[in-house]
Amino acid sequence: MARLASLAALVVLFTSAAASAAPPQLPALPAGGASQPSGEAGGGNGGGGGELLGFSAEQVRKGIVQVEQGGRPLAVGTVLSRDGRVITSLSALAGTEQPEIRYADGTTVKAKIGHRDKAWDLALLVPQTGKWLDGLMPTDADPLGADLRSFLPKAGKLAPAPVGVKGRVDAKSKEGDALKSALDVDLKGATTVPGAPMIDASGRVVGVIVKACKEGGGPSGSPAAAAPAAAGATPPCSGVTIGVPVHAIRGFLVKTPANAVQPAPWLGLGGAPEQNGSVKGVKVMGVAPGSPAEKAGLKAGDGADTIIAVDGQPVETPEQLADVIGKRAIGQQVKLLVYSGGKFRETTVTLRAAP
């Protein structure tokens, strides 16, 4: 059920009227250099911390990540707001199944490809640790003629750069699939970065930059364009940069497999409701060997511990405890307020995936 709820939330973000909500108010953060070595986040945003249309560059930067492999930049990605998964360019991953995601604060986590669409050149990356919920949201506003920005390389760093949409264009994928009403992107001389979002004046996403092929297969007047393709053969591809429109992104997300979610964090204990005078909590009835609960010293049986709160949030039933833990992430530390022997104590637990 948790996986289905997570998928539903993912789709709602790109299909509901939530696009009218206020954009996230984000602190100033480093932009993350596009050519920085592993372990460095890049100093500054490359744009002097200036305005990104109606918002500062830092306000949207937290929802943009760099996709890497062994510290080598591959693409740019967009974090889905309040979800944590990342949309990027599939072809830019170059066959990498477990890329790394570098966030705006310089931290990196490993990810897996949870969903892919070769036609629109989209991939959905699922982080395997951590819980990064700050991201960007879409808009249905017409991008034609709008004042847009994207995060593209500038002096070795990702920085806001002006881009434009000249209109709609029909293109094809490398496999020959028709891509109707793609955004005809004007990069205004900037270097192409697959997966980079295109952001409007409200700080919302109008499209994602990817690679495709021109309709017709080759440049006008070229032998490839003039000669008919052999039966069953893939038409020749003349590369072109396009923007994946929001409607296509929505269609991509609707088809996301239900299991394309982050691994669930695990505490490793069984419990039951307990009340001792005015103290209410979850009594530890059993602890799994080698679990985070065991490593934290939680005890069952005689003198069993009772968990009163998680990170200051009271829990009175096993269901409440499971719900609170489920909102955390693998690798995350949580503080448990525990009661036993007439005394309170606090212990820290590092969550991991269930065996």
pLDDT tens sequence across 26-38: 222 233 333 222 2
pLDDT tens sequence across 175-230: 899 999 999 999 998 888 899 999 998 899 999 999 999 865 443 334 444 344 45
CB 139 within 8 A of CB 127: no
- Please count the helices (runs of H) and the strands (runs of E) in the chain: 6, 22
Which DSSP category does 30 fall into? Answer: -
**Residues forming CATH 2.40.10.120 domain(s) in the chain:** 2-254
Q: Which amino acid is at 207?
A: G
**Distance from C-alpha of 223 to C-alpha of 221, rounded to nearest angstrom:** 7
pLDDT score recorded for residue 156:
67
**Strand ranges (E), 30-156:** 51-52, 55-56, 64-69, 72-79, 86-89, 100-102, 108-117, 122-127, 148-154
pLDDT score recorded for residue 238:
84
First to last CA, the chain: 19
pLDDT score recorded for residue 219:
39
CB 77 within 8 A of CB 101: yes
**Distance from C-alpha of 275 to C-alpha of 269, rounded to nearest angstrom:** 18
Report the sign of the C-alpha dihedral through residues 33, 37, 38, 40, in that order.
negative
CA distances from 271 to 23, 236, 282, 314, 349 (A): 40, 62, 6, 15, 16
Topology (CATH) of 265-353 = Pdz3 Domain (2.30.42)
CB 158 within 8 A of CB 181: no
CB 54 within 8 A of CB 201: yes
Query: Among candidates 86, 22, 20, 87, which has minimal Cα distance to 248?
Result: 87
pLDDT score recorded for residue 72:
92
Q: Which residues contact 238 (CB under 8 A, 6 or more apart)?
A: 213, 214, 217, 218, 219, 222, 224, 225
- Residue 106 CA, distance from chain mean position: 15
- Residue 164 CA, distance from chain mean position: 24
**Residues forming CATH 2.30.42.10 domain(s) in the chain:** 265-353
Q: Does domain 2-254 correspond to CATH entry 3.30.470.20?
A: no
pLDDT score recorded for residue 348:
95
pLDDT under 70: residue ranges of the chain: 1-57, 156, 215-235
Greatest Cα-to-Cα distance within the chain, rounded to the nearest angstrom: 87
